[in-house]
Amino acid sequence: MMLSLLVPKARAGAGLASRLARTAPALWQAAQWSQLAQQQKRTLSTDLRSVVAEKIPAQQERLKEIKKTHGNKVIGDVTVNMCIGGMRGINGMLWETSLLDPEDGIRFRGYTIPECQAALPSAIPGGEPLPEGMLWLLMTGEMPTQEQVAQVSLDLRKRSALPPHVAQVLAAMPADTHPMTQFTQAVLALQTNSEFAAAYKSGIHKSEYWKPYFEDSMDLIAKLPAIASLIYRRTYHGGNLIEAHPELDWAANLSHMMGFDSEGALELMRLYQTIHSDHEGGNVSAHTTHLVGSALSDPYLSFAAGMTGLAGPLHGLANQEVLLWINNVKNELGADPTKEDLTDFVWDTLKNGKVVPGYGHAVLRLTDPRYTCQREFALKHLPDDETFKLVSLLYEVVPEVLKQTGKVKNPWPNVDAHSGALLQHYGIKEANFYTVLFGVSRCLGVLSQGVWDRALGLPIERPKSVTMGVLEDLCKQ
């Protein structure tokens, strides 16, 4: 205990360190070893919950200091356009797990997508990152080791079995019910086993909220591949289910239980689930999950609410819209159109008052790195695929057309412009199901942030609304 207090911190300066080393070398060496042991313990621990627990006190103090020192600091202005334009550009919520940079794209705990691809453990040498590694990163802020990721995979497998009543709930619904409706209902059905709801009812202290919230979140994350594959098989394959593989990782098991076992399909699912995992807190699904969670609704209720937002055409259905549009291109121009014909088709789309789906983004001002890494995957695994070639030609055509309109801030492709083409290549052709895959991945980010919302004691969200009359009066002042 005394040794740890004597280890010089960086802020104490080199003077204290050098004096201690000169005057008490044995004590200094012991202190060094103590500090190294603590660092190794943190680094080598494979228990995700204990690593999160270790980090919470420092982050609680950090937030207290920000509030105490800078609580009244102005961090932005709000214009009328922001108020009536979907609150875009308003700095209005705390979200630790990721941050969207206009130039670099999404940063997961500070790391770009290329950095995550290089540093996160993979299932095969040189392969795509394992989503379990992304979960560790989002929860802790640290890049995990292979052993830590393996332990997360094992933990999720142990938690993955569905209670029988979930299948019964789905069986009571028509088989042609939209997959996202089934997905949300299945998540709600799991709520009967919520540890957080039970703990809150029993009077748990608010400082302990994060613990049952963590357990619920891990349970829900673990069960989502089974839910998604159950929905897929009952909707498109007559209810002929495939059992989970006892050794596959989280994303690969999702692909396997859906019926796709090729190495390329498994790798694609790992990539897909990793890059869709989080996109800061302002998008509809993330914000909704956070908002409902701020009322101390448990992770099942909060996530289900977020998924109803993800099901909207302007959010999670975007990749489906892209694929439908590409199929229209094929129907009109054939699978291998000329650049000139494709340019005319894009102009006709715009002149008819429609948008080109998959292009543009509210924040990004360059090509979405999630698009880029999917393009690299395609170049590596399916360079001659017919749809991929068309997607590549669109990449040459659409931005130039959008620039010429003079009305688009960001003419570059986003993640949705590519994902459908990859899924189709590996046989996942049911576009209505794509948003479910998106929803499975999004759990990693929003539930990790939910754990931290409870650990940091963030309050219920309650922004102020105004009427048009109030806006008119304010503008007269």
**Torsional class of 427: left (φ above 0), alpha (ψ -120 to 50), beta (otherwise):** left
**141-200 tens-digit pLDDT:** 999 999 999 999 999 999 999 999 999 999 999 989 999 999 999 999 999 999 999 999
Q: Which long-range contacts (CB under 8 A, 24 or more apart) does 33-39 make?
A: 34/3, 34/4, 34/7, 35/4, 35/7, 38/4
For residues 421-446, give the mean pLDDT.
Answer: 96
Whole-number pLDDT of residue 136: 98
pLDDT at 29: 52
Residue 43 has pLDDT above 60, yes or no: no
More confident residue, 364 or 102: 102
Q: What is the pLDDT of residue 35?
A: 45
Q: Let me know: does 202 contact 229? Beta carbons within 8 Å.
A: no
23 falls in which pLDDT band (50, 70, 90)? Answer: very low
Q: How many CB atoms lie within 10 A of CB 48?
A: 20
pLDDT bin (cut points 50, 70, 90) of residue 364 is low
Whether 256 sits among the annotated catalytic residues: the reply is: no
Q: Summarize pLDDT for 409-431 with one digit per residue, the tens.
A: 788 898 889 999 999 999 999 99
**Phi and psi torsions of 276, nearest 5°:** -95, 5
What does the block give as tokens for 192?
Answer: 């009967």
- Beta-bridge partners for 122: 129
Please pick, among 361, 368, 425, 453, the residue that the annotation labels catalytic.
361
Is 216 a catalytic site residue? Answer: no
**Contact in structure between 20 and 5 (CB atoms under 8 Å):** no
The confidence score (pLDDT) of residue 22 equals: 47
Q: What's the pLDDT at 27?
A: 46
User: If you average pLDDT over every residue of the chain, what do you get?
Assistant: 90
The answer to whether 167 touches 230, Cβ cutoff 8 Å, is yes
Confidence of residue 17 (pLDDT cuts 50, 70, 90): very low
CA distances from 59 to 71, 299, 455 (A): 16, 22, 9
- Residue 476, pLDDT above cutoff 70: yes
In this structure, what is the dihedral angle of CA atoms 230, 236, 237, 242, given to the nearest 10 degrees?
A: -30
Residue 407 is predicted with a pLDDT of: 81
Report the distance separating Cα 397 and Cα 403, nearest Å.
10
Least confident interval from 106-120, 170-184, 349-363: 349-363
What DSSP string describes 200-234? HHTT--GGGTHHHHHHHHHHHHHHHHHHHHHHHHH
Q: What angle do helix axes 48-70 and 434-455 make, rounded to 10 degrees? A: 60
The runs of H, that is alpha helices, within 45-163 are: 48-70, 80-84, 113-119, 131-140, 146-159
Residue 290: active-site member: no
- Catalytic position from the list 155, 219, 416, 453: 416
Half-sphere exposure of 32 (CA within 13 A, CB side): 10
Q: What's the average model confidence in pLDDT over 325-338?
A: 93
Mean pLDDT for the stretch of residues 293-298: 98
**Mean pLDDT (whole number) for 218-230:** 98
Return the pLDDT at 103.
Answer: 81
Assess contact for 279 and 448: CB atoms under 8 A.
Answer: no
Q: Cβ-count burial of 476 within 10 angstroms (0-12 exposed, 13-18 middle, 19+ buried)?
A: exposed
Q: pLDDT band at 5, cuts 50/70/90?
A: very low
Q: How much is the pLDDT for 15?
A: 38
State how far the Cα of 319 lies from the Cα of 325, in Å rounded to an integer. 10
- Asked whether the predicted pLDDT for residue 39 surpasses 90, the reply is no
Beta bridge partners of 108: 98, 111
Catalytic residue among 104, 178, 261, 315: 315
Share of the chain above pLDDT 90, in %: 80
Tokens of 194: 């919520």
From CA 250, how far away is CA 273, in angstroms rounded? 10
- Write the burial class of residue 69 (CB in 10 Å: 0-12 exposed, 13-18 middle, 19+ buried): exposed
Element (H, E) at 368: none
Q: What percent of the chain has pLDDT over 70?
A: 90
